[in-house]
Each structure stands twice: as C-alpha cells, then as structure tokens.
Amino acid sequence: MLSQIDPKEPRGSRIIVTVIGPDRVGIIAGVAQVLASNKINILDISQTILQEFLVMIMVADMSGSTVDLLTLKDSLDKKGLDLGVRIEALHEDAFNFMHRI
C-alpha cells in the first residue's frame, strides 16, 4: 500500500505518478516501460477500475536516473497520448504540499 512505503527510502528523489483514463490493455506496461527505460524504480503502485476508468498512482525513485523531471514528464505525456490516458508526474514534496490539509 502507498501508506506503507519504507521511510528509509531517499525522500529527495521520489516522485508521484498518476494515471487516469479509459481502461485498456497495456497502460501499466507502457508507463512502467517509460520509467524503466529512464532507470526509475517503482516503489509502490495502487490501482483501481472505476466503472470503465483506470485510476492509478505510483511512487517511484529517481535516484538512479540521469533524466530530469521535466524530461520525464515530456516522455510520460507522449506515452499518455499513445495510450489515451492522462499521466502526471510530480516530485513528492510538491504532491504533499498540494494535498496537505
């Protein structure tokens, strides 16, 4: 579960990736391929199908990657267009700031 991420993981390099769109074969594989090709490790993943829509959130570690977040976002945008879904990536600190109460 997302709430069970190891607190010992390096926090400064974690990103949150969200995917929302019509469910179809290959979405998870496509997103994972973009991350893996950029040496980004998926730490946790949660997904659900709401009627015919896939809603997915991933926590990933960019510490082993040489790509910057803006370049990764561009790659994910292109993959999202190919897959017919919306893919967003935010640094964990930005995500937490946006979702604090």
Q: What is the CATH number of the domain that holds 54?
A: 3.30.70.260
pLDDT score, position 98: 67
Does residue 40 belong to any structural domain of this protein? yes
pLDDT score, position 99: 63
Please tell me the pTM assigned to this model: 0.82
Does residue 7 belong to any structural domain of this protein? no
The count of domains in the chain is: 1
Does residue 41 belong to any structural domain of this protein? yes
Residues 6+ away with beta carbon under 8 Å from 13:
61, 62, 63
Does residue 1 belong to any structural domain of this protein? no
The total number of residues written for the chain in this structure: 101
DSSP-derived secondary structure letter, 62: -
Domain that holds residue 54: 14-98
Does residue 24 belong to any structural domain of this protein? yes
96 C-beta neighbours (distance < 10 Å), count: 12
**Residues 68/12, Cβ–Cβ less than 8 Å:** no
Does residue 6 belong to any structural domain of this protein? no
Q: What is the largest CA-CA distance in the chain?
A: 38
- The residue with greater pLDDT, 92 or 44, is 44
